[in-house]
Amino acid sequence: MTLEQCQARLAEIRLKQGTSRPIVRVEFRGTTFLGLVVEPDPERKNARRSPVPYGLLVLETPGLVPGPQTMIQIAALAENAIQEAEAIA
């Protein structure tokens, strides 16, 4: 997955969930991660425009108090690895 593909997928999920920090499910090397999205790789905003795969997807453990973060390299994700997750009750 490229950074642009990741950002496009997250934009779809943000729109559907109506929040800038959606809850997503990410499949990565046989493990499923569930968490709130922390802005992916904000440093890339001023970088050149090209389909580069580099960047990090940062997920935060959902809850009342911010929990540990999981960092996943976007280039290592399959194109369909990021899915919308159900809200946590």
| Selection from 58, 50, 57, 59 nearest residue 78 by Cα | 57
User: Is the pLDDT reported for residue 42 higher than 70?
Assistant: no
- Tens-place pLDDT, residues 8-35: 999 999 999 998 889 999 999 999 999 9
The pLDDT of residue 72 is 92
- C-alpha–C-alpha distance, residues 80 and 89, integer Å: 25
Q: What is the pTM of this model?
A: 0.79
User: Is the pLDDT reported for residue 62 higher than 60?
Assistant: yes
Question: Could you tell me the pLDDT band of residue 40, with boundaries at 50, 70 and 90?
Answer: low
